[in-house]
């Protein structure tokens, strides 16, 4: 059967149509165009651009449904992402007349039972986290991934961030005969040596889609208000289908979520201290629309697909520039529109300038008498910083920025700087008068 100009097995096309795809995405087309070659593929494309089906469809197309050996190994950096890929693979397999054996392996499962089952039954498609796959395939030699014809590493940059370099190195060393397909949202420098070591005859696919016109960026200044006050005003203004509110620390997530629950909103929260069971429950509740808002750290920014995210709110801007793009990528997915609100203060000017260079074209709004009103933007009459005096620069040396920034901190620090600058100026004046005398 054919779909969007490409011929695939009948059951694959049936699965695609069941997903109600209008057409394939750019990264999917670029990958499919290379299927008749023997090239390994390194694809760089933003979160939400359809990378998962870009590698699942070729795997099923090449699959021998009657062969009981491992034919594809897919690695994902988190348990949640591995399970998400597993569910997508199961969906495609459900349209096949022949049963396809797909298994998902990650932490927190019964290792001995898994090893025992593998003695007599090898899955055809293996999906799992690097640590678990290394344990079953290399340390225990129970999972025979070396027979794979396809080897996929999804979100390879995130795998490096999560410290899986050694596991990837060990697994990749036994997968040299498989066709490799590595997918990444960014191209970190420390990934390059790894790519060169294990991927010969490689085609680089770089989809420059960070400037997605379907995503609207709105930046809102905090000025001298408390951050939680601005968030409260914003939530009274918007009506999201589903919204993720991003914070930088778990303590902030807990504080913001508690405040929103008190205000009567339906809110879930996700941070690094949740157990895998708790995180799975929260994601299930989100997908079932038990919540309208999810307050989360960047744990939720990468690789976790929650359908129908209409709004993103950056309660705090992420410290890493790239994570602004990852957070934004949770909305505006698969041809749907999205909107990203970001709260900022004067300390964020350099950060926002960098995002402007990355072709993020924001609209500026501020709250006036409870109404969200457009204004010209930073460095205008309404939002201009006065030039620092030499005394203020000197005062800042004695009042350094705190690592723990709480609501209202900048206003209090600015007041201290001005007070000290005034004293320094006064003392300097006294010295000059003494010299004249």
Residue corresponding to tokens 């909305």: 331
Per-residue tokens: 248: 């930088």
* Bridge partners, residue 203, by sequence: 41
HEC sequence for 248-276: CCHHHHHHHHHHHHHCCCCEEEECCCCCH
> Does residue 212 have a pLDDT over 60?
no
Q: Residue 178 in 3-state DSSP?
A: coil
pLDDT value of position 280: 81
102-146 pLDDT per residue, tens: 999 988 778 899 999 999 999 999 999 999 999 999 999 999 999
Q: Report CA-CA distances (Å) from 40 to 37, 147, 175, 290, 334.
A: 9, 17, 12, 42, 25
Give the relative orientation of helices 191-198 and 165-173 as an angle to the nearest 10 degrees.
Answer: 10
Q: What is the mean pLDDT of the chain?
A: 85
pLDDT value of position 213: 47
How many residues are given for the chain? Answer: 437
Listed residue (394, 317, 407) closest to 353, CA to CA: 317
What residues contact residue 310 under an 8 Å CB cut-off, 6+ apart?
240, 241, 242, 243, 331, 337, 338, 339
> Does residue 225 have a pLDDT over 90?
no
Q: Residue 295 in 3-state DSSP?
A: strand
- 66: DSSP letter: T
What residues contact residue 318 under an 8 Å CB cut-off, 6+ apart?
246, 248, 298, 301, 324, 327
> Does residue 406 have a pLDDT over 80?
no
Average pLDDT over residues 39-60: 88
365-398 pLDDT per residue, tens: 999 888 889 888 776 433 445 566 778 878 887 8
What residues contact residue 283 under an 8 Å CB cut-off, 6+ apart?
80, 270, 304, 306
Burial of 95 per CB tally in 10 Å (0-12, 13-18, 19+): middle
Please, what's the largest Cα pairwise distance for the chain? 102
Listed residue (45, 75, 77) closest to 334, CA to CA: 45
311-350 pLDDT per residue, tens: 999 999 988 777 887 788 778 765 567 899 999 988 888 8
Say if residues 142 and 120 touch (Cβ distance below 8 Å): no
Pairwise CA distance, residues 253 & 245, whole Å: 9
Q: Residue 104 in 3-state DSSP?
A: strand
Pairwise CA distance, residues 93 & 101, whole Å: 9
> What global pTM score does this model have?
0.62
pLDDT value of position 400: 75
pLDDT value of position 277: 82
pLDDT value of position 63: 97
> Does residue 67 have a pLDDT over 70?
yes
pLDDT value of position 405: 55
Q: What Rg, from alpha-carbon coordinates, does the chain have?
A: 26
> Does residue 156 have a pLDDT over 70?
yes
């Amino acid at each position: 059967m054919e779909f969007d100009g490409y011929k695939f097995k009948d059951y694959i096309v049936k699965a695609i149509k069941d997903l109600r795809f209008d057409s394939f995405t750019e990264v999917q087309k670029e990958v499919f165009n290379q299927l008749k070659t023997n090239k390994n593929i390194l694809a760089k494309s933003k979160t939400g651009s359809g990378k998962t089906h870009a590698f699942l469809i070729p795997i099923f197309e090449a699959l021998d449904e009657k062969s009981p050996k491992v034919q594809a190994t897919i690695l994902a950096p988190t348990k949640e992402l591995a399970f998400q890929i597993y569910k997508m693979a199961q969906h495609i397999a459900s349209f096949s007349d022949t049963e396809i054996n797909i298994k998902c392996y990650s932490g927190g499962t019964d290792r001995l039972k898994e090893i025992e089952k593998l003695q007599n039954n090898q899955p055809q498609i293996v999906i799992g986290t690097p640590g678990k796959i290394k344990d079953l395939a290399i340390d225990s030699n129970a999972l025979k991934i070396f027979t794979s014809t396809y080897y996929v590493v999804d979100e390879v940059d995130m795998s490096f961030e999560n410290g899986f370099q050694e596991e990837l190195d060990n697994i990749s060393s036994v997968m040299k005969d498989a066709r490799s397909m590595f997918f990444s949202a960014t191209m970190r420098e420390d990934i390059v040596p790894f790519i060169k070591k294990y991927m010969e005859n490689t085609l680089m696919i770089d989809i420059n889609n960070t400037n997605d016109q379907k995503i609207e960026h709105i930046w809102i200044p905090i000025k001298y208000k408390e951050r939680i006050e601005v968030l409260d005003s914003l939530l009274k203004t918007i009506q999201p289908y589903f919204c993720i509110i991003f914070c930088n620390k778990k303590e902030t997530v807990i504080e913001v979520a508690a405040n929103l629950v008190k205000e009567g909103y339906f809110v879930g929260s996700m941070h690094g201290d949740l157990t895998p069971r708790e995180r799975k429950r929260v994601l299930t509740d989100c997908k079932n629309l038990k919540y309208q808002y999810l307050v989360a750290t960047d744990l939720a920014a990468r690789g976790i697909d929650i359908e129908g995210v209409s709004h993103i709110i950056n309660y705090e801007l992420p410290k890493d520039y790239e994570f602004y793009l990852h957070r934004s990528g949770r909305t505006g997915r698969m041809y749907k529109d999205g909107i990203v609100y970001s709260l900022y203060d004067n300390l964020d000017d350099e950060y926002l300038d960098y995002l402007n260079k990355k072709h993020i074209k924001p609209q500026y709004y501020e709250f006036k008498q409870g109404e969200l009103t457009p204004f010209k933007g930073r460095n205008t009459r309404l939002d201009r910083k006065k030039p620092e005096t030499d005394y203020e620069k000197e005062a800042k040396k004695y009042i350094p920025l705190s690592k723990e920034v709480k609501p209202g901190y900048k206003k209090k620090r600015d007041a201290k700087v001005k007070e000290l600058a005034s004293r320094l100026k006064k003392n300097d004046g006294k010295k000059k008068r003494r010299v004249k005398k």
